[in-house]
Structure 1
């Protein structure tokens, strides 16, 4: 890797060279307690996608099934997310988040209420996940899947405890979230729902004219999926039959999804969207197939549902053909063995591909075996995809998650974008 490509060359053991204007930095932050990604767009616009924080009372966190809190337990997960953002942001300790997206309402993506969680300065809500991040860093616009009515597929404000999917105190979690929204809206934060099909909702805020090839394509929100043509969408799930709960889409299959496009470069992220339908499932749980049809090939793909067994279906793998797979993993379910086989199978799509995980547990290695070491270039650490100006070349940089200093651990690339 030569200095002609980077004005500052990342070196293992050294601090990460700072973002520069024209770079697209896609940070996948590892706290060991859920998903969180922070993007710095070419003009300095910033975007946070999810801020997971599993309850410390959840039994998963006490077993070898779950990764440990990273870098340590001296701070809450939301505090580690904030410290990471402050360290890499163009504005450092004056960092702001222009857009924050919550892909769906699961604790490992937006935080879980628990009795001993710290209180906001106002006393109106507790700090966990996104509510904690927003207490410490200003958010311009927060986007989630439910705004403004929060009534799909049921009245979330009134029935979260009843239909919350078994998460600990889900009614309390959603009540806390709604209190947070009300308080922050009064303080000036905007809230919106994602407009599926749009490539104008999430825009460069500072110097859009300098980067005409950059755009964010909204792919999916709730039941609406982009067709791949203009801004048109189709309704994937039929109208809700309130008398038949078995027909309702589940929370994962309602996740938001989008692509980030910079010249010839394309990146996909889609929360916990599923694509594998098991016996007894509603066939419409496969939302990956219609999304993949609309999106086509990508350069970098985050694994839906952390690479769990109900996601990353064969059609998506064959259609995306990514050079890079990123697993935002924290559990022994991430990835499923058969999912890893699909992603690495050159009969599904030919050519090289590199896999990266934020965490890889011993439990995975015991069950899956040597395929993990053969497939993954890095199994531990924060994962940064740094796309150079114009989008034709990118690198994957692993940052050490065992220390708050986050030195560079390894550098992979250069990779050439495939273009369309």
Structure 2
């Protein structure tokens, strides 16, 4: 190849990257045909916002930890991002309003709660702002859904493994979680009266979440898991992973993390995985069926981008998942020094589980992790601070990872990685 052709190719590549995003400048707007996967960092839990190629939108979780809990503001947890001048739900909604397709920016089409933990759907706390009706407080999903109304709200069926009333009945009368659950139910009641549709997430379905504005035949969302039902990888068939539950014996009940909803997003050959807080490592005393990652991985196969289950905590991202999914990009949503577990990081980067190159990105790595784990953190991650956007180009053959500054409002680009070429699937 002569120097002239090489120079033209390099110039073309640089120009294409500048059109997608350029460090130090505002993020260029989503354009029809793009698939944008935003991982929003508030320091108080998970939140991801997806813009599909036709402009259909989806929120996956909106966490908000209780700021009156001493742990939340301790050195063990991450600080609020950008700052404490607004509540986390306000920062999430404000971010979404900046990046949403303007022609469809009248709310959010789909909102998914992966499971009912406060860092994924919000926590009641004294002093939280009240809704205008005074029927519930604004926190996490209830706050975002009030500012940006949901068309569909998807959740797991709360009657499994036993009814939520049975679970709550085992807790002390004044427990914090009871108030959080009552608050969430009040939100559902009011928003349903205003047109929101509540649906149980259907494992195995490839049609429950679908494009609303125009057809892209090479795009789809595959529901993989909900509660104990896990997609088999064929058609819409599912299998029950958990053994029969004894309603009188709580030891037979799967925990909330193991009940997480899981989904795949396909765009042409591109595949993205996200799985809430699914566990995969069975510790001493655990039932073998607490490993839900192994059957999930068997159904899913290889992907291009994967979020780390349970924020990369010690009980998740097992060896079977790592060697089966083999993503080129791992994304970790961090809010505490538990993320990642040292052994989890070793598995994720291990060449013995797969040899292909991989890049790691974290939203909010803590100094404590770097001090305890050591230089392996800086050696492994391409970026450790900021909102993480996966921008997939039309057709799904290439994508970029774009890091956005989370230290101030706005959507300033910090760094751009890529283009990544989508790998051929078996």
Matches of residues 333-412 of structure 1 in structure 2 within 5 Å? 333-412=338-417
Larger radius of gyration: 2
Deviation string 1:338-372 (CA, Å, 9 cap, x unpaired) is: 00000001111002100000011011011100000
Q: Is the CA contact 2:58–2:111 (under 8 Å) kept in the aligned structure 1?
A: yes
Alignment pair present for 1:153 and 2:153:
no
Paired with 1:380 and 1:83, the residues of 2 have a C-alpha distance of 19
Q: Is the CA contact 2:55–2:104 (under 8 Å) kept in the aligned structure 1?
A: no
Alignment match, 1:190 = 197
Per the normalisation by structure 1, the TM-score is 0.96
Alignment match, 1:20 = 31
Cα shift at 1:125:
0.7
Paired with 2:221 and 2:214, the residues of 1 have a C-alpha distance of 15
Per the normalisation by structure 2, the TM-score is 0.94
| Equivalent residue for 1:283, pick from 288, 310, 326 | 288
Cα shift at 1:419:
3.2
Return 241-250 or 389-398, whichever deviates more. 241-250
Q: Is the CA contact 1:58–1:168 (under 8 Å) kept in the aligned structure 2?
A: no
Deviation string 1:12-32 (CA, Å, 9 cap, x unpaired) is: 111000000000000000000
| Equivalent residue for 1:294, pick from 288, 295, 299 | 299
Structure 1 gaps, min length 5: none
Alignment match, 2:326 = 321
> Secondary structure of the equivalent of 1:182?
helix
Paired with 2:335 and 2:150, the residues of 1 have a C-alpha distance of 26
Aligned residues: 414
> Secondary structure of the equivalent of 2:84?
coil
Q: Is the CA contact 1:263–1:419 (under 8 Å) kept in the aligned structure 2?
A: no
> Secondary structure of the equivalent of 2:13?
coil
Q: Moved runs in structure 1, 4+ residues, more than 4 A?
A: none
Cα shift at 1:6:
5.4
For the aligned residues, what is the CA RMSD? Answer: 1.7
Q: Is the CA contact 2:112–2:153 (under 8 Å) kept in the aligned structure 1?
A: yes
Deviation string 1:322-346 (CA, Å, 9 cap, x unpaired) is: 0000001111000000000000011
Cα shift at 1:236:
0.6
Q: Is the CA contact 1:86–1:92 (under 8 Å) kept in the aligned structure 2?
A: no
Paired with 2:363 and 2:103, the residues of 1 have a C-alpha distance of 23
Alignment match, 1:34 = 45
Alignment match, 2:125 = 114
Paired with 1:9 and 1:132, the residues of 2 have a C-alpha distance of 31
Q: Is the CA contact 2:95–2:410 (under 8 Å) kept in the aligned structure 1?
A: no
Structure 2 gaps, min length 5: 1-11
Alignment pair present for 1:45 and 2:56:
yes
Paired with 2:66 and 2:60, the residues of 1 have a C-alpha distance of 19
Alignment match, 1:206 = 213
Alignment match, 1:105 = 116
Cα shift at 1:157:
3.5
Alignment match, 2:424 = 419
Cα shift at 1:162:
2.6
| Equivalent residue for 1:306, pick from 305, 308, 311 | 311
